[in-house]
Structure 1
C-alpha cells in the first residue's frame, strides 16, 4: 500500500472531524458567543453549504494545476480556517473560519480521490479511495467522541486547535509521501472537464450519490430521538451507540472498496438493496433495544459501503477528465445529507413520529435502488450496441 494513502487518510480524518465534532460542542459554542441554538446551528449549515461551493468552485479553479501542490494549498486553507475558528472573539469570525475550512472539504476529497486512484493499479482504485475515506469513518468512530470530550474538559477552542494540528500533520505527510505523479489530466482545460457532464452516466452517478447517501442520513439525522423516545435508551448511552454506528461505517467502507474493485455497479446494487432491507426491518423493530443495536451497525455498514463505489463510478464515466466530476460528487454527498435531513424533519413535523425518518429514508433508498438498476441497464445497452452494429 502506498504510504501517500495514509497521508490522504489523515487529511480526511481532520476534515471529517471538523464537520461533525461541532455537533457535540454546539451548546458550549452558543454560550460562549451568547447566541441562540438556532444561530449556533448555522455553524453546521453554513459549513455544509460552503462544502458544495468549494467542491465545484475550487476544483474548477485548480483543474489545470498539478494536484499535489493543490492538495497542499487546500490543507493550508484548512489549517487557517480552523485556527481562525479557535481564535474567534465573535460569532461572525467563527463563522468565517468555518466557511474557510469548509471550502477545502469538497475539493480535497474530490482531488484526493483522483490522486489516490492514480497511486495504484487499475484493479485497486476503489480500494485506494476506500483507504482515504477510512479517515472520514475514523473521524466518526473515534474523533468525534474524543474531540467532544476534549472540548468539554478544556474548552471547545482546544478541539479546533487539535484539528489544526492534525491538518499540519496531514500537510507534512502529503509533502513527503504523496508522489508528484505526472497526470494526463493536468493539460486538460476546464472546458474539457465540464465536457464530462455530457455523459448521462455521470448525471446518473450524481443522482445515485444523492439518493444512496440521502436514504441513510434520512434515518440517521434524527436517530438520537428514535433511540431515546422509541427504543427507550437513556440519553447518556447515545454517544456509545453512535460509535457503534461508526464501526459499521468503517467496516462497510473497507468491504465496499474491495468489492467495488471487482464490479462497481453490482457492489452498489448489493449495498443499496441491503440498506433498504435494513431500514424497512428497523422501522418495524425500533422499539426493541437488541434489534436496534444490530440495525444501527448494519445501517452504518451498508450505508457507507456504497461510498467507494459511488466515487469510483463517476470517475470511471468522466474518462480522462475526472477531477471536476469527482468534486461535484462530493457536493452530491452533502446534498444527500441535506435531502435526508430535510425529508426526515418533514415526517416529524407532520406528526408521524420518531420512526418516520427511518421509513422516509427507506423510500429514498428505494428510489436509489430503481436508479441503479436503470443506470446498469443503460450501461449494458451502451456496451452491447456497438457489438450489434459490428455483427450486422
Structure 2
C-alpha cells in the first residue's frame, strides 16, 4: 500500500477529530462565549451542513487542479480557521469558521478519496479506502476523547489549537508523500463528468451510504442517555463506551478493507442484515449491561466494517469521474449524519424513550439492506445484458 495513502488517513484523523470533538466541548464553549447550549450545539450542525454542500461544490471547482495542490489548499484553510476559532471570542465568527472548515474538509474528502483509489489497482480499492476512512475511526478512539481531555484541563481553545497543529503536520506529510499529478479527469469538462455520474447503480450506492450512516449516527448521537437512563451506567462509563465503539469501528474497517474487494455484495448483504438485527437487539436489551457492552462493540465493528465496500463500489461505478464521485459520496455520508440524529431527536421528543433511536437505526439499516438487494439486481441485469450483447464483426 503506498505510503501516501497512510498520510491521507492521518489528515482525515485530524479533520474528523475536529468534526466530532465538539460533543465534549459544547458546555465550555457556551459558558465562555455567553451563548445557550442550543446555540453552541449549532456549531456541530453547521459543520455537517457545510460538509453536504462542500463535497460536490469543491469537487467541481478543483477538478482541473493537481490532487496534491488541492489537498494542501484545503488543509491550509482548515489550519487557518482553527487558529481563528481558537483566538476568537465572538460566537458568530466561530460559527463561520466551522462552516468554512467543513467546506475545506468536504473538499479534502472528495479529492483524497479519488487520490487513494487512483494510487492502487482496482482489486485494492476497498483496502485503500479502509485506511483513509480509518482516520475517522481513530478520531473516535483517540482524537475525540483527547480533545475532551484537553478541554477539561486547558479550556476548549486548546483542542482547536491541537487540531490546527495536527492539520499543519498533515500539510507537510501530503507535500512530501503525494505525487504532484493531475487526476485522469483533468482533460474533460464538468458536463462530461456529470454525465459519467448519471448511473442508476451509483445513485443506489449513494442512498445505501446515507442510510447506513444515518442509522449509525442516530443511535451513536444518543448513546450517552441510553447508557445512563436505560442501562444504568454512571456518567463516568460513557467515555469508555464511546471508545469501545471506536475500537469496534477501527477493527471492523481494518478487516472489512481486506475482504470487501473480493466479495463486495456478500460483505454488504451480511453487514446490513447483521446491523439491522443488532440495532433491534440493542433496543430490546438496553437494560442489560453485558449485552449493551457487547453490542456497542459489535455495532461499531459492523457499521464501519461495511464502509470500504460502500466506498469502493462508488468508485467502481463512477468510471472516469472519481473526484466528483468522492464529492457526492461525502455529501451522502453527511446527509445521513444529519438525518439520523434528527430522526432520533424526533422520536425522543415524541416521548418514545431513549431506546427509540435504536429502533430508528434498525429501520434505516433495513432500508439499506433493501438497496443492497436492488443494487445486486441491477448489477446482475447489467452483466446479463453485456453477456448477451452481440459482438461486432470486423470486416477485412
Task: Give the structure-2-normalised TM-score.
Answer: 0.96
Alpha-carbon deviations, 1:291-320, whole Å to 9, x = none?
A: 000000011010111211211111111101
Alpha-carbon deviations, 1:8-40, whole Å to 9, x = none?
A: 011101110110111101111001100001111
Deviation, 1:169, is 0.5
Partner of 1:226: 226
Partner of 2:254: 254
Task: State how far apart, in whole Å, the 2-side matches of 1:219 and 1:139 are.
Answer: 18
Partner of 2:317: 317
Partner of 1:144: 144
Which runs of 5 or more residues in structure 2 are unaligned? 392-396
Partner of 1:383: 383
Partner of 1:291: 291
- Contact 1:196 1:322 (C-alpha < 8 Å) held by counterparts: no
- Contact 2:45 2:338 (C-alpha < 8 Å) held by counterparts: no
Task: State how far apart, in whole Å, the 1-side matches of 2:269 and 2:326 are.
Answer: 20
Partner of 1:280: 280
Task: State how far apart, in whole Å, the 1-side matches of 2:307 and 2:9 are.
Answer: 15
- Decide which moves more: 338-347 or 16-25: 338-347
Deviation, 1:183, is 3.1
- Superposed, 1:237-386 pairs within 5 Å as 237-386=237-386
Give the root-mean-square deviation of aligned CA atoms.
Answer: 1.2
1:280–1:145 Cα change, 3 Å? same
- Decide which moves more: 27-36 or 119-128: 119-128
Alpha-carbon deviations, 1:15-70, whole Å to 9, x = none?
A: 10110111101111001100001111111111111111111211111112111110
Deviation, 1:266, is 2.2
- Contact 1:347 1:357 (C-alpha < 8 Å) held by counterparts: yes
Task: State how far apart, in whole Å, the 2-side matches of 1:154 and 1:300 are.
Answer: 30
Task: State how far apart, in whole Å, the 2-side matches of 1:355 and 1:16 are.
Answer: 27
Partner of 2:31: 31
- Contact 2:141 2:244 (C-alpha < 8 Å) held by counterparts: yes
Partner of 1:2: 2
Deviation, 1:255, is 1.3
- Contact 2:206 2:332 (C-alpha < 8 Å) held by counterparts: yes
Deviation, 1:389, is 3.6
Deviation, 1:182, is 4.8
- Contact 2:251 2:301 (C-alpha < 8 Å) held by counterparts: yes
Alpha-carbon deviations, 1:195-220, whole Å to 9, x = none?
A: 13311011111100111111122222
- Contact 2:197 2:321 (C-alpha < 8 Å) held by counterparts: no
Alpha-carbon deviations, 1:92-134, whole Å to 9, x = none?
A: 1111211121111122112101111122222111101111111
Q: Secondary structure at the match of 2:390?
A: helix
Partner of 2:133: 133
Alpha-carbon deviations, 1:144-184, whole Å to 9, x = none?
A: 11111111111111111110000110000000011224532
Q: Secondary structure at the match of 1:390?
A: coil
Task: Give the structure-1-normalised TM-score.
Answer: 0.97
Which runs of 5 or more residues in structure 1 are unaligned? none
- Contact 2:5 2:131 (C-alpha < 8 Å) held by counterparts: yes
Partner of 2:62: 62
Task: State how far apart, in whole Å, the 1-side matches of 2:154 and 2:136 are.
Answer: 24
Task: State how far apart, in whole Å, the 2-side matches of 1:51 and 1:321 are.
Answer: 20
- Decide which moves more: 362-371 or 254-263: 254-263
- Contact 2:83 2:161 (C-alpha < 8 Å) held by counterparts: yes
Partner of 1:175: 175
Partner of 2:203: 203
